Structure 1
Amino acid sequence: MSRSEGVSRRAFLGVLGGAGLAAAGCGPAESAGQLLVSGAPLPEPFTVPLPIPEVARPSGPGRYEVTQRVAAAEILPGSRTEVWGYGGTFPGPTFELRRGTPVTIAVRNELPVPTSTHLHGGVTPPGSDGYPTDLVVPAGHSTRHGHPGEVHHQVVKDYRYPVEQRAATLWYHDHRMDFTAPQVWRGLAGMALVRDEEEDALPLPRGERELPLMICDRSFEEDGSFRYPQAYSAHGGAHGGMHGGMHGGDWLGLDGDYMEGVEGDVILVNGAPWPVAEVAAARYRLRLLNASNARRYRLQLTPGGRFTQIGSDSGLLAAPVAHDTIPISPGERYDVVVDFSAYPVGSAVTLVNTLAEGMQRNVMRFVVTRAARDDSAVPATLSRPPRRPRPVATRTFDFRRTGESWTINAKPYRPGVPLARPRLGTAEVWRLTSDFHHPVHLHLAHFQILARNGRAPAATDGGWKDTVDVRPYEVVDVLARFDGHRGRYMLHCHNLEHEDMAMMADFEVI
């Protein structure tokens, strides 16, 4: 993706508008991207059953093999969509991991472009972290526009994960430099669940009453293919869709009107548009993931109901917390329990996004179809998370538009040039500031949110996290813990269009 393209006039005015609202005391603007309208007719909500991704099966002790390949999927009823998927599915398979049991996942690339896989939330050695220039290159592929220090693995790479971390909801996705946004949009994402003995001992809902929910948005061409606002195809012509312009990897740039981020007009859960799930009148554990490129959600149950949060990005909370709404930005996860016995059998309970209007306000629906015995519970004590360490340093990272780039500390991304060198086994306060909605993600380092604009964090900010939504003209202080491994890691905006336009930085754990 060309970094010479500036942020669009619409994006720039949106940033100025956020500043005006903040100055007027009206709070930050809630929009985090530009809506891309589909050319295809959209399906009726709540008519497609909720799919559950398959659980990956090991090919041997501690080893998995997964192939990234092109496949056709029925996403819109009656249409076929070309997806790029791990295992040829969208989402990819769910990896069930166990704390203390290391695994190797061999990723084979049979796509027409290079890839790099990042285990988001993983405490991972640097060589398996999915660095954006550490690429798995398909057979016969030649990269015309490489980057300094780019590493190529021919066809397959072994990613090694020690899994020395607490039970948590993780996910994995493509992380190729300059191309993360369009390649994730095409389907390169899936979930990974880490389990441990502490979680096993809890009487939480399990089995068919534990639902992984990967929420994202997409737009579609008239023929059912994914629509993405690229400016030019590999053949040099204007091209609005994705099915022809990215083969060979010579995609030349994002349409300038979408530089602030791309929001689709179809909401997908586990790859299905506005799906419906039949549930019993019992407690269900919902593992919520926002896998959208740019869209933010404020989730709510209607006609009413509460979420009991039991975990955040990086593991279980110490104690449950009840919420009426849950704000979730790209990359964040919330582990919650919903008690459907609070609704009469026959009830329709809709998960909605109060930040959106029209069809995009809907996410999915649950229909309570039957009474059921329920021996699950949410105990008052969930876990003993790591203690909050004492920081040894404070650093500031400013996320904003500088000239024609989205930058960190006024610098566009330069691979191999670290902005910080924290020491292994220490903790630091990192102050994050912004001019727009920037969901900030730290690789390796888990953190706790200390303050927003000098005030106490929100109730939904609790627990150890790896991604935080930094809102326009906001200052967020986090306490980051650098454990596990020495080496090169990253922090970046998880608005994937911002990430592709240089809003990343390296840090080196020494």
Structure 2
Amino acid sequence: MTEIIERPAGAVTLSGPDWGLAKFLDPLRIPPVIRPHSWWPQEMITIPMVAKRQRLHSMLPPSSLWTYAGHFPGPTIEVRSGKQLRISWSNEIDGPFPLVAVQGPLGEAPTTRPGREGYPLIDGVADLPSWTVVHLHGARTNAGNDGWAHNAGLKGTSQLTEYQNRQQAMPLWYHDHAMAITRFNVHTGLAGLYLIRDDEEDALDLPGGDREIPLIIADRNLDRDLESGALTGQLLYKVPVAPGGAMIPFSGPFTLVNGVIWPHLDVEPRWYRFRLLNASNSRFYRLNLVDEAGVVHNDAVRLIGTDGGLLPAPAPLPDGGLVAAPAERFDVLVDFSRFKGERLRLTNLDPGLGGVEPDLMEFRVESRSRHDSFTLPERVSTSYTRLVHGETLPEDHDHVWVALLLNAEGHPEMWDLEELDADPGGEGIVQVDDPAGGLRTFRRVGKLFDDTTGIFINHDRWAVWNILHVAAGGPAHPVHIHLTEFQALFRRAFTTTFSTADGRTSAPIGSFTDVPLEKYEEGWKDTIIVNPGQWVSVAGQFSGGTGEFMFHCHILDHEDEGMMRPFVVHPPEVAKFHLHPGGGHHH
């Protein structure tokens, strides 16, 4: 038996309009919860993928979506650590592809404005079939359950998956991962939250029930009627193209929380726990809690967890707000007790392109006092250990090297690298003056997903991934590594010597400057922001599954356009018999 629980939201009141829609008009929608029985050792459930029409705002016509179990976002799945769950993801999607996708020259018309603005259709998107594969982001599971991008299925097929859930309490999320069209499929609505619970989390007695609420943030654009100019509710995937031909990732003018544009939430003057996920294609958010006068109240907010679980202690929000990149999750506590009768807004103070409403949602705090037995603990996770080279990180570990860059056409690329004894000349070379190891020369193994696999890691082994963003400019990339949770060891800035014209470094990269990690970045994560001109080093153990996995930029447009590469995890006993190009592990 599977229990599905719907939670009602509050009443509707009007607020100021924008793009013809009233802000904070609609209550926050809470996705239903699928909670397998904890006493059953394993359970099999079916989650159908179906076409659905759903209003994103009460002033809009319904939007055509593709959904998990008829909900956008999909149901929140809650499981106990160590309890196996088998899911049949059943593709039952009928009808045409629900996106109108258009593109046009950069600068001619803002893509953060509703309507097509004369942009031509992107050829082929309207013809796409419902070809889907589900990735449980953050799961340690065999590769056959991981959602390999090529292994998508058409309508009438099911993807049978097994999740062991042998992980500590943490927020995972599930979304589509089909090769080359992940950006489109996720955009149609195929995403949802998956929470693992454990005894350590239970012992904290954190705010729960109606006071533990998912906040799944995503941006979208909408088409307009050609004659009246009214918003139609039709999802519009509208992107600009740079002069060199590189497509700029999607960014839209409407921010949705739990599938509602600019919602409100009625709260009591007590502590609340929010499970925050940035499910946007590419937008970064700089989140702040502000009152009606615009005064920031981030001191009422504490971070207690990240992608991979609970932090050792509550952490304040960074100065200027919390930067949330696509796919990052945050476990957030907010104390509303001092705001009785007030209205607060969750605001993005880093909107990027113009024309974006900075407000995400409104909190309406009840005016009467409420008893709250919760007090913020000094310690959160007692099982947490900080990874330190030469101390808590096992001395015997692998090293993986990855370069992020812009090519001569301005298109972002991701290379995995193998180390050489000397510079052979030519393109595809990255040299580093490593403070820990002197001059190191690396050669590109692959830059497209279907190039030669170059990274092989033994099961249960620790690996340090060194990610070098060698571009002189361009975007930050949120890099996601499947199968593992990792900790950031350091973040270092440098002045790049990479020449896009030559496709290599012109001199060894060096003169590194340490960039302090945010306190929460010391937590367990599976997605890390890598800024231009930075070397970010992360360490994780590759256990709980074997096979061929993926690592990629989680800007979905970048992932689909080449910034994704494979790696293999196999038993060490098998590894010595495995013949493959590149000569083996990256040490």
User: When the two structures are superposed, what TM-score results if normalisation uses the length of structure 2?
Assistant: 0.71
For the Cα contact (< 8 Å) 1:230–1:255, is it kept in 2?
no
Moved beyond 6 Å, runs of 4+: 253-258
1:116 is aligned to 133
Q: Distance in 1 between matches of 2:190 and 2:256?
A: 14
Which runs of 5 or more structure 1 residues have no equivalent in the other structure? Answer: 1-39, 140-154, 232-252
1:200 to partner: Cα distance: 0.6
2:413 is aligned to 407
2:210 is aligned to 208
1:282 is aligned to 270
- Tell me the alpha carbon deviations over residues 161-186 of structure 1, each in whole angstroms, 9 at most, x when there is no partner: 00000001111000000000011011
Find out whether 1:464 has 2:524 as its counterpart: yes
**SS of 2:210 mapped into structure 1:** helix
**SS of 1:497 mapped into structure 2:** helix
Q: Distance in 2 between matches of 1:473 and 1:53?
A: 40
For the Cα contact (< 8 Å) 2:548–2:567, is it kept in 1?
yes
Structure 1, 44-53 or 298-307: larger mean CA deviation: 298-307
**1:266 counterpart letter in structure 2:** F
**SS of 1:133 mapped into structure 2:** helix
Note the 1:241-252 alignment, pairs <5 A: none
For the Cα contact (< 8 Å) 1:215–1:291, is it kept in 2?
yes
Find out whether 1:452 has 2:491 as its counterpart: yes
2:401 to 392, 396, 420: 396
2:510 is aligned to none
1:474 to partner: Cα distance: 1.8
Structure 1, 351-360 or 319-328: larger mean CA deviation: 351-360
1:385 to partner: Cα distance: 2.0
Give the root-mean-square deviation of aligned CA atoms. 2.2
Note the 1:136-285 alignment, pairs <5 A: 136-139=153-156, 155-222=157-224, 223-229=232-238, 259-285=247-273
1:240 is aligned to none
Is the alpha carbon distance of 1:368 and 1:484 closer, same or farther for their aligned partners in structure 2, counting shifts above 3 Å? Answer: same
- Tell me the alpha carbon deviations over residues 40-78 of structure 1, each in whole angstroms, 9 at most, x when there is no partner: 944122111101000125599612111111110011323
1:23 is aligned to none
Q: Distance in 1 between matches of 2:235 and 2:245?
A: 18
**1:348 counterpart letter in structure 2:** R
Q: Distance in 2 between matches of 1:258 and 1:352?
A: 30
Find out whether 1:504 has 2:509 as its counterpart: no
**1:64 counterpart letter in structure 2:** I
**2:459 counterpart letter in structure 1:** L
- Tell me the alpha carbon deviations over residues 443-494 of structure 1, each in whole angstroms, 9 at most, x when there is no partner: 0011101111133312231201000111122221111221212211111000
1:363 is aligned to 360
For the Cα contact (< 8 Å) 1:205–1:377, is it kept in 2?
no
1:298 to partner: Cα distance: 0.8
2:306 is aligned to 312
1:216 to partner: Cα distance: 0.6
1:429 to 464, 489, 501: 464
For the Cα contact (< 8 Å) 1:395–1:430, is it kept in 2?
yes
For the Cα contact (< 8 Å) 2:253–2:355, is it kept in 1?
no
- Tell me the alpha carbon deviations over residues 273-324 of structure 1, each in whole angstroms, 9 at most, x when there is no partner: 1111010000000111000000001111113323211101010011111125
- Tell me the alpha carbon deviations over residues 85-143 of structure 1, each in whole angstroms, 9 at most, x when there is no partner: 0112210111011101000111110224210100011111110001101112214xxxx
Q: Distance in 1 between matches of 2:243 and 2:182?
A: 15
2:53 to 72, 82, 100: 72
* Bigger Cα Rg: 2
User: How many residues align structurally?
Assistant: 434
Q: Distance in 2 between matches of 1:255 and 1:487?
A: 40
1:387 to partner: Cα distance: 5.7
For the Cα contact (< 8 Å) 1:229–1:255, is it kept in 2?
no
**SS of 1:52 mapped into structure 2:** coil
1:377 to partner: Cα distance: 2.3
Structure 1, 172-181 or 52-61: larger mean CA deviation: 52-61
1:22 is aligned to none
For the Cα contact (< 8 Å) 2:386–2:522, is it kept in 1?
no
Find out whether 1:441 has 2:485 as its counterpart: no
User: When the two structures are superposed, what TM-score results if normalisation uses the length of structure 1?
Assistant: 0.81
Is the alpha carbon distance of 1:157 and 1:48 closer, same or farther for their aligned partners in structure 2, counting shifts above 3 Å? Answer: same
1:393 to partner: Cα distance: 2.7
Q: Distance in 1 between matches of 2:322 and 2:70?
A: 32
Q: Distance in 2 between matches of 1:261 and 1:88?
A: 27
Q: Distance in 2 between matches of 1:97 and 1:338?
A: 24
Q: Distance in 2 between matches of 1:363 and 1:421?
A: 42
- Tell me the alpha carbon deviations over residues 262-283 of structure 1, each in whole angstroms, 9 at most, x when there is no partner: 1110000000011110100000
**SS of 2:186 mapped into structure 1:** helix
**2:466 counterpart letter in structure 1:** R
**1:494 counterpart letter in structure 2:** H
1:349 to 316, 319, 344: 344
For the Cα contact (< 8 Å) 1:326–1:460, is it kept in 2?
no
Structure 1, 314-323 or 175-184: larger mean CA deviation: 314-323
Note the 1:82-121 alignment, pairs <5 A: 82-111=64-93, 112-121=129-138
For the Cα contact (< 8 Å) 2:252–2:356, is it kept in 1?
no
1:407 to partner: Cα distance: 2.2
For the Cα contact (< 8 Å) 2:262–2:360, is it kept in 1?
yes
Is the alpha carbon distance of 1:418 and 1:377 closer, same or farther for their aligned partners in structure 2, counting shifts above 3 Å? Answer: farther
**SS of 2:75 mapped into structure 1:** coil
**SS of 2:337 mapped into structure 1:** helix
1:53 is aligned to 31
Which runs of 5 or more structure 2 residues have no equivalent in the other structure? Answer: 1-17, 94-128, 225-231, 388-392, 416-443, 493-513, 571-587
**SS of 1:262 mapped into structure 2:** coil
**SS of 1:335 mapped into structure 2:** strand
1:412 to partner: Cα distance: 3.1
**SS of 1:56 mapped into structure 2:** strand
1:338 to partner: Cα distance: 0.5
Task: Kindly indicate whether structure 1 or structure 2 has the higher relative contact order, using CA contacts under 8 Å at least 6 residues apart.
Answer: 1
